[in-house]
Amino acid sequence: MADTSTPNATSGNWALEARGLGKHYRRGWALRDCSFRIPAGRICGLVGPNGAGKSTLLGLATRQVQPTTGDLRVFGVPVDDPAVLPQVAFLGQDKPLFKRFTVAETLRMGAELNPGWDAAAAERIVRAGNVPADARIGTLSGGQRTRVAFALAFGKRPDLLLLDEPMSDLDPLARDEMSTLLMAEAVERGTTVVMSSHMLTELEDMCDYLLVVSEGRIRMAGDADALVPAHTLVTGVSRDGSLPPELTGHIVVESRVQGRQFQAMVRPTGPLPADWERAEPSLEEVLLAHLRSPDAPPLYTQGARVDAEGTQAA
Amino acid sequence: MSTTTLTEKPGKPRKPGKPSELGSGRRLLRGLPWLVIRQHRIALACVLGLTVLTALWILYERHELVQLLDAKGWPEKDPGRPMDDDRGYEYITSIINGLPLILAVFVGAPLIAGDQESGTAQLVTTQSVTRRQWLIAKLGLAYTLALVSGLVVSALFTWWWKPHRSLFLSEWIDGVIFDNTGPVLPAFLLFLTAAGITIGALARRVLPAMVGAFLFTAVTSLFVWDEVRVRLGSPKMFTYPMDTELPARFNDAYEVDRWVGSADGTLYNWGRCAEATEKATDACIKEHGIVNDVIEYIGYNQMAGMQWLASGILLAGTALLTAFTLWWTSRRPL
């Protein structure tokens, strides 16, 4: 298992730390009994189908939503403490900005409302996109508006940047440009980034940490480098049209029987029979298998899990 | 890189990390007050402009009236009816009567609903300010606007009306005078602004909020408040012999009801002895022993007390609505 960033008890090293976190709406639980950790300095992908609870999780981290149960800490500080505010920046799905403000006024807003405002960084981001400072936000293109929203988020000099499907409404060129910008800024500052996305390729390229949510629960959490190798895609001969008994010893995420053959995504707990064909799945295959089978047991890599008492479990 | 994209002064290279003219600089307004004023500057300019216009107009009308009265030797001599057909007075009172509607519908209703609809509520509260700080700045702006507008207009209108009230066609108890003078107008504007804000916070969308605020303002100022106003005073009785004139000191009293009474103090309806013929009427009067006319009235001397009571009720309502809005918007997702 990768142990590159699994800091010890000092919780300041965890960008996000959730214990028994849950949110109940009138229609039911949007998020239930979530316990996980995200180490500082990582780019974390938040993956899950629509309605899985991704936006609720980001809403909880940005104080837009109040939890029903459990608690959430940002760099060790409870999220409802106003001291968290300057540390976290958020970029929502529709990137709301004041439409009648000019670009310059939008950046001034950032300066007025954030104590640690980095005007030079914000201006650099805007200028790099050739966005005119005196243009009103309402007249900008989608890509330019996203750039201004990014400038506002990075100008805040956050330690944790939360992004809710930031690229979903951008054309491929603008998406590429924004991804590059995001990675450059985040790496330069050591900013922890948590971004939800539907684009699995985008996640594969950018993220080194993953949080997979489905039906309001955590399915997987941990290093992207450790999550994928934990899985094996096996193909073998089926017994009378059903799965062979040798599989039961291993954790089966997803399985399929086709004629005389079976195929399964497993997390091996011991040696696999030699006559099975083995393949290392791609990240996309692992994610899809987990999203398709919400009943598969969740997987946490070392350090990603916290139990209710806060002690570390493997 | 293009140099025309940002308003940079040529020849003055900025040091990285230092605040530039884009980000800050020495400015009068800072932080949230700057933001809310910038965001609502059009509404602010419109309401303040209307206030100044009304104020200047009142000054002009009062000046004209004073000149006219001086020329005619008022109050020693009868000045005629200078306020009859006074177009200026009509226009000014229309504007003042419209102020509550403007503040409730165009300032109050969109104040929070607008930010909720466009998502900018989320934008602001994910900067380094708490939701409560932001709400207080927003409410502070709206209430300051209502208060300033109400105080200026009310002070000038009172100053125009009070010394010359016998010349004005409206009675002091009429809405146009009672609601627009003294402390009532500022309190009324505050209350309806708060109502508009609350409706907006509940509706979360601008158009339904504006419609709701419009209906609430219309119902309140046209129906409900008329009923409340006359109940603020404590009516008194005055008995005087039938067939004599009501003493002149009752000229500016508001007459709640009118009765006829017998010598022993029994009261009868004013129309008790309204018979078809004079003979029948006289017989009826004699039969019941009616000797007095009685009026139930609210004297002008009660006006100040009634106005402060009205303001107290409206301010208490404002406080309640404000507390509700703060509670409601802080417990729900924006």
CA distance A106 to chain B (A): 9
Residue A250 near residue A276 (C-beta atoms within 8 A):
no
Per-residue confidence (pLDDT) for residue B146, from 0 to 100: 96
Q: What is the DSSP letter of A280?
A: P
Instruction: Say if A169 is an interface residue toward chain B (CB within 8 Å).
Output: no
Question: Rounded to an integer, what distance in angstroms lies between the CA atom of residue B63 and that of residue B70?
Answer: 11
Q: How would residue A307 be classed by pLDDT, with cut points 50, 70 and 90? A: low
Q: Which residues of B touch A125 (CB under 8 A)?
A: none
Q: Please check whether residue B49 lies inside any domain of the structure.
A: yes
Phi-psi region of A49 (alpha: psi -120 to 50; beta: other; left: phi over 0): beta
Determine the topology of domain A11-226+301-313 in CATH.
Rossmann fold (3.40.50)
Q: Which residues of A touch B4 (CB under 8 A)?
A: 132
Do the chains contact at A98 and B5, CB–CB below 8 Å?
Answer: no
Residue A207 has pLDDT above 90, yes or no: no
Write the pLDDT tens digit of every residue in B112-168: 999 999 999 999 999 999 999 999 999 999 999 999 999 999 999 999 998 888 888
Question: Rounded to an integer, what distance in angstroms lies between the CA atom of residue A269 and that of residue A248?
Answer: 10
CA distance A78 to chain B (A): 15
CA distance A310 to chain B (A): 28
Q: Please check whether residue B16 lies inside any domain of the structure.
A: no
Do the chains contact at A113 and B123, CB–CB below 8 Å?
Answer: no
Q: Examine the domain organization and report whether B197 and B264 are in the same domain.
A: no
Instruction: Say if A55 is an interface residue toward chain B (CB within 8 Å).
Output: no
Residue A246 identity (one-letter amino acid): E
A114 vs B82, higher pLDDT: A114
Considering only A136-140, B40-44, B229-233, which range has the smallest mean pLDDT? B229-233
Find, among A296, A88, A279, A312, the residue nearest to A212 by Cα: A296
Give me the torsion for CA of A31, B120, B187, B101, rounded to 10°. -110
Q: Which residues of A touch B22 (CB under 8 A)?
A: 104, 107-108, 119, 123, 133
Which residues span the domain enclosing B252? 236-301
For tokens 């009067």, name the residue.
B285
Question: In terms of residues, how long is chain A?
Answer: 314
Q: Using the CB atoms, write b or e for A165-175: b if 16+ within 10 Å.
A: bbbeebeeebb
Residue B24 has pLDDT above 50, yes or no: no
CA distance B120 to chain A (A): 5
Number of residue pairs across A and B with CB atoms under 8 Å?
A: 116
Q: Examine the domain organization and report whether B126 and B241 are in the same domain.
A: no
Do the chains contact at B24 and A111, CB–CB below 8 Å?
Answer: yes
Q: Which residues of B touch A114 (CB under 8 A)?
A: 127-128
Q: Which residues of A touch B30 (CB under 8 A)?
A: 112
Residue A6 has pLDDT above 50, yes or no: no
Question: Rounded to an integer, what distance in angstroms lies between the CA atom of residue B179 and that of residue B182?
Answer: 8
Write the pLDDT tens digit of every residue in A55-99: 889 999 998 888 999 999 999 899 888 889 999 999 988 889 999
Helix (H) or strand (E) run with residue A211 in it:
strand A209-214
What is the residue-averaged pLDDT of chain A?
Answer: 85
Q: ipTM strictly over 0.85?
A: no
What is the residue-averaged pLDDT of chain B?
Answer: 87
Per-residue confidence (pLDDT) for residue B26, from 0 to 100: 56
Instruction: Say if A114 is an interface residue toward chain B (CB within 8 Å).
Output: yes
Q: Examine the domain organization and report whether B97 and B150 are in the same domain.
A: yes
CA distance B58 to chain A (A): 35
Q: How would residue A254 be classed by pLDDT, with cut points 50, 70 and 90? A: confident
Total domains in the fold of chain B: 2
Longest alpha-carbon distance in chain A: 72
Do the chains contact at A64 and B16, CB–CB below 8 Å?
Answer: no
Write the pLDDT tens digit of every residue in B69-97: 888 888 888 877 778 778 888 999 999 99
Choose the most confident range, by mean pLDDT, from A122-136, A289-303, B69-83, B131-145.
B131-145
Find, among B198, B221, B219, B200, the residue nearest to B99 by Cα: B221
Mean pLDDT of A232-260: 84
Q: Examine the domain organization and report whether B186 and B284 are in the same domain.
A: no
Q: Please check whether residue B4 lies inside any domain of the structure.
A: no
Q: How many CB atoms lie within 10 A of CB A230?
A: 17
Distance from the Cα of residue A282 to its chain's centroid = 18
Q: Please check whether residue B17 lies inside any domain of the structure.
A: no
Do the chains contact at B130 and A85, CB–CB below 8 Å?
Answer: yes
For tokens 């029987």, name the residue.
A257
Q: Tell me the residues of B at the A interface, defined by beta carbons under 8 Å apart.
A: 1-2, 4-7, 14, 16-20, 22-24, 30-32, 34-35, 38-39, 118-120, 122-131, 331, 333-334
* Candidate from B5, B20, B118 with C-beta closest to A96: B118
Residue B30 has pLDDT above 50, yes or no: yes
Q: How would residue A53 be classed by pLDDT, with cut points 50, 70 and 90? A: confident
Per-residue confidence (pLDDT) for residue A7, from 0 to 100: 47
